[in-house]
Amino acid sequence: MSILNGLPILSFILLSPLVGLLVILLLPKERSSWMKTAAILTTLVPLALSLWLYAGYDKQQGGAGYEEQLSWVEVPLNKEFQNGVAEFVFKFQYSLGIDGISLPLVLLTALVTAMAALAAFHIKKRWKSFFVWFLLLEAGMLGVFLAQDVFLFFVFFEVTLVAMYFLIGIWGYFHRERAANQFLLYNGIGSAIMLLAFVLLVNTAGFRIEQAGEQASFIYSGSYADILRNMTDPAAWVNMSPEQLGGINPFQMTETMQWVLFIMLLVAFGIKLPIFPFHTWMLKVHTEAPPAVVMIHSGVLLKMGAYGLLRFGVLLFPEQAREWAVVLAALGVINILYGALLAFRQQEFKLVLAYSSISHMGIVLLGLAAFNELGMQGALFQLVSHGLISALLFLIVGSIHERTGTTELSELGGLARSMPFISGVLLTAGLASLGLPGLSGFIGEFLAFLGLFESMRWLTAAGVLGIILTAVYVLRAVLKITFGTQPEKYGALKDARLIEAIPMIVLLAFILLLGCYPSLLTDTVQNSVGTLFEPLFATRAGG
């Protein structure tokens, strides 16, 4: 540990993009290169901090020692209850924390955002507001993964929504406004459902007792730790302080209620993930948003859906999730095959990649449905891996589009001759995407299949069919672009500039590193999977 020890490093990570945002606001409007430099430098701060955090993370301790809490708003609800000793308070708190599940995603966010900032040279107008929204988006994403309070989580989730809305709507391609509206509408529905579920959760499982001398306060808050504790051990408070509660358990949740909440969360995060048939909103985002933004969208934002599903859906409602494991696995298989078959028939490269994301997110569902450590690890690995790979692919999409003005497959061909570097990176990214061992895509896939195979063989076998279809659509698209002969109209195309090559190499390096040395990620995740999922696996063993 170093001098940074003891400082609120999570808040530093969260707030650093906002500080950069303020600096950019102060810069003169016409100095676009200043703003770009400032933005890139800003994104490097959370990247450096989260790298440091990752390196120093104690794999045995888990997330302990990193909590940062501040009470934000306290609303007294009513003064008296039963025998008059208790006070009811609603607490809205600023509460950050990490564990082995969120930490890799924090690092992924910081990395992908920094690379996207480098790739943002495609942006040609309104630099200032672009980077303001861009950095706000980063803060929102980091907040989502750092938040330890459901309301805080929700607020950050909404921040990303608003920032994305403007990023798509202003800097996107031709149909940008429709894409932005569809994005907001669909995600808004998801958010509304999520908010309702959170309110119901806080209302019930957000209960805790705080003892201050003789006086005991009954508190309702969005604290994730409280909710998790109550959900795992519903009778804890009654057993601990029976006389104060007068034998009444204020935490009550019927089984029906649990089911309702679970399905609400499944839908809310399923839209984001996206789970078939909630996926159509993201197709337009992929084609219309600027490449730097799509890098973030498909690299990080989709992961928030999976993260939310895992954190709130599966972990808080293990019984329900377990009973629906087959449903989750079936949805995963549908995602894999449906996405792959549609990707195979697309004429627009960006749509190939969009459907490919659907297909790859299906593997995350398979991993979750496995209900063992292998599957969970596979799901998380797939999140990180797909984040890196899809960010890299959209980075290349941006570079190709800048040169040729198109990403239609029929218009492209033979780029390997004039752009050997970019074509080589594209081919490697494609191979990573189709799960070539040695690159990160394989590990997530393999672990998810391995985990799921324990309980659901036929569904696993159906999912494994996906690796054939993935090869089919990836090679079809990538070889169409790079192999063959180049249409004459493009003339001599220039290969990657340094500013394009750097993010490509960095992302590729991470993909290769994780592919060859997966323990780097799995060991970090292991402790948290072990402890957090213990009740889950216990229900499996018991059931």
Partner 1 sequence: MEMYSQAAWLIPLFPLAAFLVLTALGRSFRRAGVLIGTLGSLAAFVLSLFIVIDRLDANTVDYNYAFDWMKIGDYTLRIGFEVTNLTAMMLVVVTLVSFLVNVYSAGYMKNDERITVFYGYVSLFTFSMLGLVLSDNLLSLYIFWELVGVCSFLLVGFWYAKPKARAAAKKAFIVTRIGDAGLLLGILLLFWYMPGHALDFTTIQSVFDGQSGAITTGITTLIALLIFLGAVGKSGQFPLHVWLPDAMEGPTPISALIHAATMVAAGVFLIARTYDIFQDSAAAMETVAYIGGFTAIFAATIALAQNDIKRILAYSTVSQLGYMMMALGLGSLTGGVFHLFTHAFFKALLFLGAGSIIHAVHTQNIHEMGGLGAKMKVTAWTFAIGALALSGIPPLSGFWSKDMILTAAFETNPLLFFVGLAAAFCTALYMSRLFFLVFTGKPGAASSGAQESPVTMTLPLVVLAVPAVAAGFVETPWNGWFGSWLSGEAEAAHGSGVAIVASIAVGLLGIYVGWLVYGKGSVSRTALADRVPWLVKLLERSYYVDELYAVFVVKPLKLLGAILIVIDEYVIGGLVRLTGIATVSAGRLAARLQNGQVQTYSLAAVIGFVIIVIALVGRRFLP
* Positions that interact with partner 1 (CB under 8 A): 75, 77-78, 81, 88, 90, 182, 185-186, 189, 195, 199-200, 202-203, 220, 277, 279-281, 338, 341-342, 344-345, 372-374, 377, 414, 416-417, 431, 436-438, 442-443, 446-447, 449-450, 453-454, 460-461, 464-465, 467-468, 471-472, 475-476, 479, 482-485, 518-519, 522-523, 526, 529-530
Q: How far is the CB of 78 from partner 1 (least distance, A)?
A: 5
Q: How far apart are CA 393 and CA 357, in angstroms?
A: 11
Residue 245 structure tokens: 């509660």
DSSP 3-state percent helix, strand, coil across the chain (nearest 5): 70, 5, 20
Residue 427 structure tokens: 């081919």
Report how far apart, in Å, the C-alpha atoms of 477 and of each of 39, 324, 401, 415, 431 are. Answer: 33, 36, 15, 12, 12
For 417-462, give the DSSP string: HH-HHHHHHHHHHHHHHTT-TTSHHHHHHHHHHHHHHTT-HHHHHH
Task: For partner 1, give the closer residue by CB, 19 or 479.
Answer: 479
Closest CA to 311 of 109, 100, 162: 100
Q: How far is the CB of 72 from partner 1 (least distance, A)?
A: 12
Task: For partner 1, give the closer residue by CB, 292 or 456.
Answer: 456
> Bridge-partner residues for 70, per DSSP?
94
Q: How far is the CB of 422 from partner 1 (least distance, A)?
A: 14
Task: For partner 1, give the closer residue by CB, 216 or 436.
Answer: 436
Closest CA to 472 of 342, 331, 320: 342
- Tokens 């995407």 sit on residue: 433
Q: How far is the CB of 104 from partner 1 (least distance, A)?
A: 15
310, 525 contact by CB (below 8 A): no
Task: For partner 1, give the closer residue by CB, 189 or 216.
Answer: 189
Q: How far is the CB of 444 from partner 1 (least distance, A)?
A: 12
Per DSSP bridges, beta strands 86-96 and 215-221 are: parallel
Q: How far is the CB of 494 from partner 1 (least distance, A)?
A: 16
Task: For partner 1, give the closer residue by CB, 234 or 484.
Answer: 484
Residue 323 structure tokens: 């009973």
- Find the radius of gyration of the CA atoms of the chain: 24
Task: For partner 1, give the closer residue by CB, 110 or 504.
Answer: 504
8, 33 contact by CB (below 8 A): no
Report how far apart, in Å, the C-alpha atoms of 231 and of each of 215, 300, 312, 531 are. Answer: 26, 28, 11, 15
Q: How far is the CB of 17 from partner 1 (least distance, A)?
A: 20
Task: For partner 1, give the closer residue by CB, 202 or 369.
Answer: 202
Q: How far is the CB of 89 from partner 1 (least distance, A)?
A: 10
Q: Which residues contact 136 (CB under 8 A, 6 or more apart)?
A: 17, 18, 21, 159, 162, 163
- Tokens 């993009």 sit on residue: 17
Task: For partner 1, give the closer residue by CB, 170 or 200.
Answer: 200
184, 160 contact by CB (below 8 A): no
Q: How far apart are CA 21 and CA 42, in angstroms?
A: 8
Task: For partner 1, give the closer residue by CB, 349 or 449.
Answer: 449
Lay out the sheet containing 215-221: strands in order across: 68-76, 86-96, 215-221, 207-212
Q: How far is the CB of 41 from partner 1 (least distance, A)?
A: 28
Task: For partner 1, give the closer residue by CB, 38 or 439.
Answer: 439
Task: For partner 1, give the closer residue by CB, 82 or 211.
Answer: 82
Q: What angle do CA 275, 281, 283 make, to 5 degrees?
A: 95
Closest CA to 502 of 436, 434, 421: 421
Task: For partner 1, give the closer residue by CB, 234 or 530.
Answer: 530
Count the neighbouring beta carbons within 10 Å of the beta carbon of residue 458: 9
Task: For partner 1, give the closer residue by CB, 77 or 235.
Answer: 77
447, 366 contact by CB (below 8 A): no
Q: How far is the CB of 135 from partner 1 (least distance, A)?
A: 18
Q: How far is the CB of 165 from partner 1 (least distance, A)?
A: 11
Q: How far is the CB of 343 from partner 1 (least distance, A)?
A: 9
Q: How far is the CB of 118 from partner 1 (least distance, A)?
A: 23
